[in-house]
């Protein structure tokens, strides 16, 4: 696996083919409590992409990891300094254009390693996936972690919906980039059991309305790097399985 951005154009040319995958890590620049950086989702998406790429390469696929998509719809965190939010239609158009280039150059499948669960963002990705399949004919694997069957594979905190910048996400950042975690702050944070998923279903429109005045939910004080490493492996397996399912659907053969 090589980052696409580090390749020459000739190396990129040689990396394509029917059994080639381009992985697009997708995150956001948004508030993640007082203890995690604004690019937390990007860190998680890149870890998922790397883990999934290793599994796909072991199956014989050619894999490149694209530069991450870091700006997206992040309306829930809009009230917090540093958050940058795009219109959902801008996100859809951007992902569609990226897929258009991949199609032109002969990649076999686009895999979206997404770690940002804002409802407007997820809707923009779902719209992009529909348009890519309809208009470009490119296979797309997009395991939506907020939905079955993928969500049930993740931690109890994640399944509770109280997981933004909590134990689930903080553990991954501790495993990947421990130096960016404000650890003394993290250790002193009280648990916030408010469920974002329940709040979204109830029509809430922001972290503040959902019960997260400091932009975190869950229990960051209980995070560990060991949990983070195990979660990264699970996320990589999810991405791998989604790609295999997509390739199987595209060829009529189970992979």
Span 105-137, pLDDT tens digits: 999 999 999 999 999 999 999 999 999 999 999
pLDDT at 92 over 70: yes
Residue 52, Cβ density class (10 Å: 0-12 exposed, 13-18 middle, ≥19 buried): buried
Coil, strand or helix at 170: helix
CA distance 30 to 44: 13
pLDDT value for 147: 92
Which one is the CATH code of 2-245: 1.10.10.410, 3.40.50.300, 3.90.340.10, 3.40.50.10310?
A: 3.40.50.10310
pLDDT value for 69: 98
pLDDT digits (tens, 9 = 90+) for 201-250: 999 999 999 999 999 999 999 999 999 999 999 999 999 999 999 988 64
pLDDT value for 217: 98
The band of 255, judged by pLDDT with boundaries at 50, 70 and 90, is: very low
Provide mean pLDDT across the span 161-180. Answer: 97
pLDDT value for 17: 85
CA distance 140 to 122: 15
Neighbours of 207 (CB within 10 A): 27
pLDDT value for 239: 98
Q: Which of 70, 160, 162 is nearest to 116 (CA)?
A: 70
* pLDDT mean across residues, the chain: 95
pLDDT value for 249: 60
What is the crossing angle of helices 167-176 and 40-58, to 10°?
Answer: 70
pLDDT at 252 over 50: no
Answer yes or no: are the C-beta atoms of 63 and 56 closer than 8 Å.
yes
pLDDT at 254 over 60: no
CA distance 167 to 66: 28
Pairing assessment for the beta strands 107-114 and 17-26 based on DSSP bridges: parallel
pLDDT value for 2: 79
Using only the alpha carbons of the chain, give its radius of gyration. Answer: 18
pLDDT value for 84: 98
pLDDT digits (tens, 9 = 90+) for 60-71: 999 999 999 999
Answer yes or no: are the C-beta atoms of 49 and 100 closer than 8 Å.
no
Coil, strand or helix at 147: coil
From edge to edge, which strands make up the β-sheet containing 107-114?
Answer: 2-3, 62-65, 17-26, 107-114, 139-141
Count of alpha carbons within 13 Å of 135, Cβ hemisphere only?
Answer: 13
CA distance 170 to 181: 8
Answer yes or no: are the C-beta atoms of 169 and 222 closer than 8 Å.
no
Coil, strand or helix at 148: coil
Region of 203 (left: φ > 0; alpha: ψ -120 to 50; beta: rest) is left
């Amino acid at each position: 696996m090589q980052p696409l951005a580090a390749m020459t154009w000739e190396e990129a040319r040689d990396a394509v083919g029917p059994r080639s995958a381009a992985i697009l890590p997708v995150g956001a620049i948004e508030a993640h409590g007082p203890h995690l950086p604004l690019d937390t989702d990007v860190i998680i998406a890149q870890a998922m992409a790397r883990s999934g790429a290793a599994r796909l390469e072991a199956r014989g696929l050619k894999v490149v990891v694209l530069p991450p998509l870091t700006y997206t719809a992040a309306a829930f965190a809009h009230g917090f300094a540093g958050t940058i939010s795009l219109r959902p239609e801008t996100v859809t158009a951007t992902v569609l254009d990226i897929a258009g280039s991949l199609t032109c150059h002969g990649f076999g499948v686009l895999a979206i390693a997404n770690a940002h669960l804002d409802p407007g963002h997820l809707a923009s990705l779902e719209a992009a996936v529909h348009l890519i399949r309809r208009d470009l004919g490119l296979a797309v694997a997009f395991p939506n972690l907020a939905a079955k069957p993928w969500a049930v594979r993740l931690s109890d905190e994640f399944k509770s919906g109280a997981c933004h910048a909590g134990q689930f996400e903080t553990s991954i950042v501790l495993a990947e980039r421990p130096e960016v975690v404000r650890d003394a702050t993290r250790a002193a944070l009280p648990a916030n059991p408010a469920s974002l998923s329940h709040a979204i279903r109830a029509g809430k429109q922001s972290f503040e309305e959902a019960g997260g005045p400091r932009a975190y939910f869950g229990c960051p004080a209980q995070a560990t790097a060991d949990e983070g490493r195990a979660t990264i492996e699970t996320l990589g397996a999810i991405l791998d399985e989604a790609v295999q399912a997509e390739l199987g659907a595209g060829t009529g053969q189970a992979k």
